[in-house]
Structure 1
Amino acid sequence: MKRLAGWYGGRSLRSRLAMLTAAAVAVAIALSALACWFIVRDRLYGQVRQTLSDTRPPGGPNGVSLSCEPTAAAALAGANKVGTHPFPNRFDVQYVKAGDDVCFPYGAERIIRTDPSDLSATGVSIRDGSYSDGTPALVKRSPAQVQSGPNVKSYTVLIAVPVDTVQSSLQQLALLLAGVAALGVVGAGVTGRLVARSALKPVDQLTNAVEHIARTEEVGTTIPVRGDDELARLSSSFNSMSTALANSRERQIRLIADAGHELRTPLTSLRTNVDLLIRSNDTGRPLPEATRTKLLGNMKAQMQELTVLIGDLLQLSRPETSRPEREHTVVALHEIVHRAVERARLRGPGLQFALVVDPWYVRGDGPGLERAVINLLDNAVKYSPPGGTVQLALQDGRLTVRDHGPGIPPDELQYVFDRFWRSPSSRQLPGSGLGLSIVAQAVQDAGGEVSLGPAQDGGPGTVATVRLPGQATAP
């Protein structure tokens, strides 16, 4: 059994499907053939029994001539016939009586083998029997009164009909059904093979696509989808997965390229300053104290810029999908806003902050949301004019941050949340171009949405709007 299971398990899916199809068809044909054979057998034997039941003994109780001599049986055994057969070519009749010889009507042709139960038969019945030469037959037995001289004797009359032709027909039918079943199984195997090849064609395409990706690492390969069955759903799922992998790789490549580009400038400046300090030491010509202090200050600022850039990159290295629910907690957004404003005051000491903050509780990542609010305020501080005002409001889950700076041109609004994108007019200002990308990711993780646009009152500046689902009271 284990060997058979191992042999079956080692076959291809196409072969196993063809084998299962052939096996199912074989079972169905075998059951149908058996049912057909039994039905035909019952019908044929039923017709013989019905005909035999309708047959009456010849000549009536007093009108039959019997030969009860021992030589009668011998004559029959020698195939000698006398007279006319009472049932030509159909039935054979004989009479039996306890203690007497078997009696035959004149013209009888064959001897019916008697059974001990025939002598005690009281009613009409039909049993399986045979002739003396072994030919199978159905035998009807019934009581009969026969006039013999002045006396009336009781006999059991046996009427038999051969069923060898019925059995021969059933054997031929069995051979015919076996041949049809064999042809059906072979045809089912061939058809199952063709059906399996056609049905599993999408699987072959999927396998080829997976092998191609594994060999060439070219993600994004798709296969055609036909229909709406399970294989079509599998193909669609594979295409979606392949497209998602391609997009993920493209984002990774773009992130690496952009990060390399952004890191090149501060690293080049650092290397230039370090080379200048080393050259001054090697030549024995120390730099003036003011120049040296300025160089060290620039190096410190560049190191801080690198630190911020690397932190932003780490923040964005997370997948662009929502965090699992188990990492989200209930966060008091109004408290986060107050902490972010305190930090923003330190970065813009000459600015005014107008606050309207109502309680609002959301479910999300607390540090990520705090980083998002800080980035929005940093942008507002960076682009606000000296002595300007930053307006911040949190009402009914809607957080708005407005500055009164130069604003963003309308044709650039579609790029503000892209990684490393910076407006041409603000590239001289410090920053990595990742702040708003971090804002968008944190807000999306919390199930909210963020937008950036011009002030609604037509005045100068830009308004950042964040909408987060939550409630005004602590849960």
Structure 2
Amino acid sequence: MLTAAAVAVAIALSALACWFVVSDRLYAQVDTNLAAAPTSTPPIPLRNGQFATPFQSCGTTPKAAQATAQATAEAQAAANKASRHNPDNGPRPAGQSSSEGVFDAQQICLPWGAVKGINVAPSDLSVLDSPSRKVTYRNGSFVDGTPARVRVNIAFDQASDAPYVLLTAAPVQSVKDSLQQLALILLGVAALGVLGAGVIGRVVARSALKPVDNLTDVVEHIARTEEVGTTIPVHGNDEIARLSSSFNSMSTALANSRDRQTRLIADAGHELRTPLTSLRTNVDLMIRSDDTGRPLPPATKTKLLGNMKAQMQELTLLIGDLLELSRPDSARPQQTRTVVALHEIADRAVERARLRGPGLVFELDINPWYVAGDSAALERAVINLLDNAVKYSPPAGSIEVALRAGVLTVRDHGPGIPSDELQYVFDRFWRSPSSRQLPGSGLGLSIVAQTIEDSDGQVTLGPAHDGGPGALATVHLPGQSDVPQ
């Protein structure tokens, strides 16, 4: 409908412009023909060397002058027929144009050969008082009602030297008929154009908006079935194609998000099941011993309570890690990024790691380095790296911790990581099959990766560079070696 309306307006404006241009050209041609007509009515020469008056009849109105002219013409025609002779001063046949002289409001004369009077306008006599005596053109009519184009100019009677207004008119009925036919033709063409534009616009719109219909169907299908991940074909590179591509990306992202959520819930349930089962077993054992009247020995009861405390601590850490990793980026608390001393964070983390691995040897090479980040989050990330090294280090083994020019490395001398498992080390809940019996939830390295990424850094984990046993964790953080001013 909008296309048809726009085309209708355009066609209407074009048709009007065409009609006015043609009308102007036709009337200009009529004015050109009138301009070529004589601007005066000279006396008619006779054979005896004298001149006859140029006007054949006069009257107080154009109709009276025309009636006199017709009577004169009929009488002259009868005389010519009787004498078979047409004198030089006889009436001349009228052509396409006709003239009349207006001396004043009471004297309107028709020249010889003019048998059609012209209606006089009130403004015609005013040109006698105009100093410019400019030739003008106006729309008018003959006394019989035929529309005409009238030229108005001043002429002088050579007998009396009296000025009079000479009206010269040409019929324009054919011009009006042509313009009327042109208007009907333009109206028909405009109607066909609007109708065709509406039909073509509907076809084009349906074809162009078909991808939008497909997109709507897919959206309604997802809303009805909640089957995210459904995509639609993309053709071309226009706005509709871009919209379809964006929708496909959004749908795929939603599907991946749901998969990650499902996987997180499944993994969390699996990880929570073990400490909860152990806690339930220990609690059931203590309750059963009290119910049966056979209390546990103090040493056994103390051991059970210690296991329950350790399991509660593991459960608390696991729930905290789950809450940290389950938050989306938009809901995660904004880190307070300030300039912190990474070397001091590393020293504190090493001291805490010594308590968790009392028999291990820590070899330190820590140089000053200042970075922009959250102090608590960075310390937790370094502790997680050290905990991972402590967990896999052999008894009385050594752990090498170095910080040089913004590169923090933690190297242990444990069994290392198989090459086919390196791609999974930063995934949530992933644990090597060979270390399933060790404590942990598989979330520590995921938290490390997230924290380092939030600090605009990078972290990698792989085999030691010297080819020896153990794993090497490398953290790159941008910063500087001296205190920023």
Above 0.5 in TM-score? Answer: yes
Corresponding position: 1:125 with 2:115: no
Matched with 2:155 is 144
Q: 1:186 to 1:73 in 2, by over 3 A?
A: closer
Counterpart of 1:453 in structure 2: which amino acid? G
The 8 Å contact of residues 344 and 381 in structure 1, kept in 2 or not, is answered as yes
1:66 corresponds to which residue?
55
Residue 42 of structure 1 pairs with residue 24 of structure 2: yes
Deviations 1:247-282 (A, max 9, x none): 111111111111111111221122122212111111
Structure 1 position 372 matched with structure 2 position 385: no
**Any residues of structure 2 matched to 1:281-360 within 5 Å, and which?**
281-319=290-328, 327-360=336-369
Range that drifts further, 283-292 or 209-218 = 283-292
Deviation of 1:380 after TM superposition, in Å, equals 0.9
Q: Is the aligned partner of 1:188 residue 2:197?
A: yes
TM-score normalised by L of structure 2: 0.87
Once residues 298 and 424 of structure 2 are traced to their aligned partners in structure 1, the CA distance between those partners, rounded to angstroms, is 44
The 8 Å contact of residues 451 and 464 in structure 1, kept in 2 or not, is answered as yes
| Equivalent of residue 442 in structure 2, options 429, 433, 438 | 433
1:358-398 Cα shifts (integer Å, max 9, x gaps): 22232333322221111000011111222222111112221
Partners of 1:29 and 1:207 in 2: CA distance: 35
Consecutive unaligned residues in structure 1, runs of 5 or more: 1-18
Taking the TM superposition and a 5 Å limit, the aligned residue runs for 1:443-458 are 443-458=452-467
Partner of 2:87: none
1:350, CA displacement in angstroms?
Answer: 1.8
Matches within 5 A, 1:93-104: 93-98=99-104, 101-104=107-110
Tell me how far 1:47 sits from its aligned partner.
Answer: 0.6
The CA deviation string for residues 280-317 of structure 1, in whole angstroms up to 9 with x for no partner, is 11111212222222222222222122112112211211
Between the two proteins, the alignment pairs up a number of residues equal to 455
Q: Does 1:113 align with 2:119?
A: yes
Partner of 1:22: 4
Task: For 1:34, give the aligned amino acid.
Answer: L
Using structure 1 for the length normalisation, give the TM-score.
Answer: 0.88
Give, in whole Å, the separation in 1 of the partners of 2:372 and 2:67: 108
Taking structure 1 as reference, are residues 204 and 315 closer, same or farther at Cα in structure 2, changes over 3 Å only?
same
Task: Tell me if structure 2 keeps the 8 A contact 1:322–1:444.
Answer: no
Q: Which amino acid aligns with 1:316?
A: L
Distance 2:147 2:310 in 1: 116
Q: State the partner residue of 1:12.
A: none
Please give the secondary structure, in 2, of the residue aligned with 1:102: strand
Whole-angstrom distance in 2 between the partners of 1:326 and 1:29: 64
CA–CA distance in structure 1, aligned partners of residues 343 and 179 of structure 2: 93
Residue 82 of structure 2: aligned partner: none
Per the alignment, residue 7 of structure 1 pairs with none
CA shift, 1:147, in A, is 4.7
Structure-2 residue corresponding to 1:76: 66
Question: What amino acid sits opposite 2:311 in the alignment?
Answer: Q
What is the CA distance between 1:474 and its match in structure 2? 3.8
What residue identity is the alignment partner of 1:129?
G
Equivalent residues of 1:62, 1:147 under 8 A apart? no
CA gap of 1:29–1:366, structure 2 versus 1, over 3 A, is: farther
CA distance in 2, matches of 1:424, 1:99: 125
Whole-angstrom CA distance in 1 between matches of 2:455 and 2:234: 35
2:258 to 219, 244, 249: 249
Q: Deviations over 1:91-120 (max 9, x none)?
A: 111122137622212332211112344334
Task: Give 1:325 deviation, angstroms.
Answer: 7.5
User: What residue identity is the alignment partner of 1:433?
Assistant: G
Within 1, Cα distance between the matches of 2:58 and 2:184? 46
Alpha carbons of structure 1 residues 88 and 215: separation in structure 2 relative to 1, 3 Å: same
Of residues 454-463 and 126-135 in structure 1, the stretch that sits farther from structure 2 once superposed is 126-135
- Report matched runs for 1:146-295 at 5 Å: 146-148=157-159, 151=160, 153-295=162-304
Distance 1:322 1:446 in 2: 17
Q: Is the 8 A contact 1:62 1:146 kept in 2?
A: no
2-side partners of 1:103 and 1:323: how far apart?
105
RMSD: 2.5
Contact 2:381 2:448 in 1 (8 A): yes
The corresponding residue for 1:15 is: none
Cα distance in structure 1, aligned partners of 2:183 and 2:149 = 21
Q: Is the 8 A contact 2:234 2:244 kept in 1?
A: yes
Once the two structures are TM-superposed, the CA of residue 453 in structure 1 deviates from its matched residue by 1.0
Letter aligned with residue 343 of structure 2: H
Asked which structure has the greater CA Rg, the reply is: 2
Q: Mind listing any 5+ residue stretches in structure 2 that lack a counterpart?
A: 46-52, 78-89
**What do residues 168-203 of structure 1 show as CA deviations (whole Å, max 9, x unaligned)?**
222222222222222222222222222222222222
Structure 1 residues 178, 274: closer, same or farther in 2, change over 3 A? same
Identity %: 68
